Structure 1
Amino acid sequence: MLSLNEIKKPIAAEIDVFEEKFKASMQSSVPLLDRITHYIVKRKGKQIRPMFVFFAASLCGGINESTYRGAALVELVHTASLVHDDVVDNSYQRRGFFSINALWKNKIAVLVGDYLLTKGMLLSLDHNDFDLLKILSNAVKQMSEGELLQVEKARKTNTDEGIYYEVIRQKTASLIASCCASGASSAGADAETIEKMRLFGEKIGIAFQIKDDMFDFGTDDVGKPLGIDIKEKKVTLPLIYALNKVSSSERKRIISLVKNHKDDPEKIGQIITFVKQNGGLQYAESQMQKFQNDAFDILNTFPPGEARTGLEQLVRYTTERNK
C-alpha cells in the first residue's frame, strides 16, 4: 500500500498552501486562543479530509481559491468536533498528545470548539461560499444527530444492524461525504455531480468506520486500545453480527458482560473472543469491502486521470490501513 505522502504527490503543493491558509484562518487577537490554536496546528493529523476535498475538486473541474476555503472549512469543523468529542468522552489524549480539555479544562475546550466552528462559518460567509456552508452545516447537524443516536442506543445495547449503519452514516460518513461534495462544488460542478461525489464520500466514510470498529477486536499495536468501544458500551458491527448468530441465552450472557464488565480485562477479553469465534470480524470485513466497491463503482463513472487515481489510492489507504 502506498504511503500518504506518495498518494498526495499530485496535490502536495496545494496541500502546503492550504496548511498556511488553514493556520491563518484560526488566528485570533486573544493570546490564549492563539496559544491553543498553535498547539492544535503543531499536532495536526494526517489531513486525509482536505486531501479528499482537493482530489474531488481536481476531478470535477479544477482547484481554485474556493477549494482552499472549502478544505479549511472542513478542517475547522473536523477539529472543532474532535475538541468537543474529547470533552464529551472525558478523553485526555488525542493522537498521543494531551487533549485541549486535559491542558485547559472543559470550559475552555468547549469555547475553543465553538470558536473554530464560528471561524469556519465566517470564512464562508465573508466570501459568499453559501453552497459550501450549506454542505458543511448539514454535515454538522448529522454528526450531532449520529452522536445522540449512538448514546440512546448504547443505553439499550441495541443489536440492530440498520441502526448501526445509520449511526455511522451520520456520525462519521457525513463529514467525509461533505469533503467530496465541497471539492466538487468549489470546482463549479453541477448538482448531479456534487451529489454523486457526496454519495461516493458517504460510502467511503462508512467503510472507514467499519474498519475502525474492527480494530477494537484486534491486537494492541494498531493505535487503538483493545476493547475501548466495549469499555464505552458501544455495540459495533462485529459484535452485532456475532450476537445475532447465537442462541438467545448466549446473546443475553454476552450483553450482560457488555453492560456490566466494569473495565475487567478478563470480561472484555471474553467478549472479544466471542466476536472472533462467531465470525464477527470476517463479516465486518466483507461489509467494509462491499461499501468500498460501491464507492469505486461511483468513482469509475468519472474519466480516468491523476485525480481519479489519487482518490482511489486514498480510499485504499483509509480501508486497508493497520491503524
Structure 2
Amino acid sequence: MSLSKLGLFYLSKNNLCSSSVAVRNYVDFQRRELSTSKVQFAKLAQEKKPDWNKAVTEAEKIVGYPTSFLSLRWLLSDEIANVALHLRKLVGSNHPLLKTAKEIIYNGKNNMQAWGLIVLLVSKAAGHSADTPDLEQDKAAGVLHSQRALAEVTEMIRTSHLVHKGLVNLQLQANVAEDLMFGNKIALLSGDYLLSNSCIELANLRNQEVVELMSSAVRDLAEAEFVGPRDKQNNALPARPRTDIVEYKQFTDKTLEPWVVSEALGDAVTEWTLRHVLNAGSLLGKSCQGTLKLAGHPVDLQEKGYLFGKHLALAWQACLDREPFLLDAKGSFSLVSAPVLFALQHDPNLYETIEKGFESVDDVDYDALKKVVLNGPGIEKTKDLQREHSKMALEMLNELPESDARNALANIIAAMQDL
C-alpha cells in the first residue's frame, strides 16, 4: 500500500473513530493531581485512569480536527505521492527510511503527530487579543489561521528532520547496493521538500520574530546531530562520565543564542537534557512561544509557553526512554537514553561496553547492558526525571485560564504518567 493510500486510510479511520466517540457521553469528569504536584490540573474520567489514545482523541475534538496529522495534505501532494510509489523499491533493503515512513503514520504514543495538536491546544487555551481581525480567526476551532499554519509547520519540520536522519553512510559499504543509494536520494529529497514547504509557510506568516524563532529551532535540530561522540553511521554515543561536574546554566536561557555543548557532556542529567532540548524541546517550546506571539500575548506569557513546550517534550522523551526497559520489552534501545546515562554515572566502568560501539553501535552487547541498567538506579531516576518535567510543564500550563483546551493538555501529561 502506498504512503498516500495509507494516509487516506488513516484519515478515514480517525474520522470514523471521532464520529463514534462523539456519540458517547463524557460529561462526568473530576479533577486529578499528579503525585508530585499539588496543582489541580485536569478533569479526568472517574471510571478509569487516563488513556493516551483517549486523551488525544478528546483533544482533537476540542480543536476541531478529526486527526492530529496536520501535514497530511503535504504527504498527499503529487510530489510525495510519487515518492511513496518509489518506496516500494526499498522493501527488503532494510533502509531506515522505511521505518521512518511507518512511524509517520503510526497512531500511537511514540509518534510526532500530536505536536501540532499541542500547539493548537496552547493557542486555544490562551486565546487571542480582542482587536484581532475577524478574517484572521478560525472561530469554529477557536484559533487563528496563522496559529494553525504554525502548528502545521511544526509537524513538517519535525517530520523532515526524522526523514533526513534516515540517511545511510554509504562510504562504509564495500559494494554499495543500488537500493541503498536510491533510498538515500529519496530520504534527502523528500526531507528537503517538507522543510522547504515549512519555510514557505513561515514566510507567509509575515512575522519576522516568529520566523527567527523557528529558524533557531531548526538550527538546534541540526546541532543535535553533532552532540557528543558518534559511531560511523552517526548514531549517538554517550560521552565518558566525568567527576568535575560544572553547573550548566543555559537551560534557563530565553535567548536565541546557541548553547555551549562541551560543558554539558559527561553528566547524566545535563547531557540528557541538552541532547533532547536540542532534538525536541527547542522545536516544541519555540512553537508554543511563537503561537502566543502570533496571538499578541505579552512577552512574559510567551516565555512561559516556551518553558511549557520544552518541559513537555522532555517529559515525553523520558517516558519513551523507559519503554525499552519495561517488562517483556524486546529489541535495542538508544545508548544515550536516560536509563543508560544514569547507569554510566553510577558505574563509570560500564563505559568499556560503550566503547565497543565506536565503529558501530551494533557491536555493543545490548542484552548485557540492559541487565546492568535494570539492576541499577537508572529506571527509577528516569521516572523521577519524567515526574519533574511533567510537574514543571503543569506549573507553566496553570498560567493559562482554565478551559477545555487546558484540561486536554493536562490529560495528555497525566496519560504519560501511567505508561
- TM-score bin, normalised by smaller chain: 0.7 to 0.9
1:120 Cα deviation from its structure 2 partner: 0.7
Give the alignment partner of residue 339 of structure 2, picking from 212, 222, 238: 238
Over 3 Å counting, the alpha-carbon distance change for 1:105 and 1:286 in structure 2 is same
What residue number does 2:394 align with? 296
What residue number does 1:169 align with? 277
1:49 Cα deviation from its structure 2 partner: 0.3
2:107 is aligned with 1:60? no
Structure ID, larger Rg? 2
The letter of the residue matching 2:304 is K
Give the alignment partner of residue 214 of structure 1, picking from 303, 322, 340: 322
Q: Secondary structure at the match of 2:153?
A: helix
1:219 Cα deviation from its structure 2 partner: 4.1
1:177 Cα deviation from its structure 2 partner: 1.2
Over 3 Å counting, the alpha-carbon distance change for 1:79 and 1:56 in structure 2 is same
Q: Secondary structure at the match of 2:325?
A: coil
What residue number does 2:332 align with? 227
Residue by residue, what CA displacement relative to the aligned partner does 1:124-175 show, whole Å, maximum 9, x if unpaired?
2134143433332111111111221144572744542222211111112112
The letter of the residue matching 1:84 is H
Q: Tell me how far apart the structure 1 counterparts of residues 378 and 169 of structure 2 sit (CA, whole Å).
A: 26
Residue by residue, what CA displacement relative to the aligned partner does 1:194-220 show, whole Å, maximum 9, x if unpaired?
111111110111111122222232345
Q: Secondary structure at the match of 1:15?
A: coil
1:104 Cα deviation from its structure 2 partner: 5.0
Residue by residue, what CA displacement relative to the aligned partner does 1:230-279 show, whole Å, maximum 9, x if unpaired?
xxxx2332222223334xxxx32x222222277478x3222111112121
Q: Tell me how far apart the structure 2 counterparts of residues 163 and 43 of structure 1 sit (CA, whole Å).
A: 27
Residue by residue, what CA displacement relative to the aligned partner does 1:54-108 show, whole Å, maximum 9, x if unpaired?
1000011140111211111111101101111122589xxxxxxxxxx97951022
Unaligned runs of 5+ in 1: 91-100
CA contact (8 A) 1:52 1:183 kept: no
What residue number does 1:320 align with? 417
TM-score, with length taken from structure 2: 0.62
Q: Tell me how far apart the structure 1 counterparts of residues 273 and 163 of structure 2 sit (CA, whole Å).
A: 24
Give the alignment partner of residue 114 of structure 2, picking from 37, 43, 48: 48
CA contact (8 A) 1:139 1:174 kept: yes
Over 3 Å counting, the alpha-carbon distance change for 1:135 and 1:41 in structure 2 is farther
CA contact (8 A) 1:49 1:179 kept: no
Over 3 Å counting, the alpha-carbon distance change for 1:48 and 1:150 in structure 2 is farther
Q: Tell me how far apart the structure 1 counterparts of residues 55 and 238 of structure 2 sit (CA, whole Å).
A: 43
The letter of the residue matching 1:126 is N
What residue number does 1:97 align with? none
TM-score, with length taken from structure 1: 0.79
Q: Secondary structure at the match of 1:154?
A: coil
Q: Secondary structure at the match of 2:289?
A: helix
Greater shift, 3-12 or 115-124, is seen at 3-12
Identity of aligned residues (%): 20
Greater shift, 7-16 or 80-89, is seen at 7-16
Q: Tell me how far apart the structure 1 counterparts of residues 299 and 398 of structure 2 sit (CA, whole Å).
A: 18
Give the alignment partner of residue 154 of structure 1, picking from 237, 256, 268: 237
Q: Secondary structure at the match of 1:148?
A: coil
CA contact (8 A) 2:74 2:80 kept: no
2:91 is aligned with 1:35? no
Greater shift, 153-162 or 143-152, is seen at 153-162
Residue by residue, what CA displacement relative to the aligned partner does 1:279-323 show, whole Å, maximum 9, x if unpaired?
110111111111111111111222212111011112233x3364x
Over 3 Å counting, the alpha-carbon distance change for 1:24 and 1:213 in structure 2 is closer
2:353 is aligned with 1:306? no
CA contact (8 A) 2:147 2:294 kept: yes
Cα RMSD of the aligned pairs, angstroms, is 3.1
Q: Secondary structure at the match of 2:227?
A: helix
2:344 is aligned with 1:257? no
Q: Secondary structure at the match of 2:65?
A: helix
Map 1:97-246 → 2, pairs under 5 A: 104-151=182-229, 154=237, 156-158=239-241, 159-161=266-268, 162-219=270-327, 221=329, 225-229=330-334, 234-246=335-347
What residue number does 2:12 align with? none
Aligned residues: 295
Q: Tell me how far apart the structure 2 counterparts of residues 7 and 228 of structure 1 sit (CA, whole Å).
A: 26
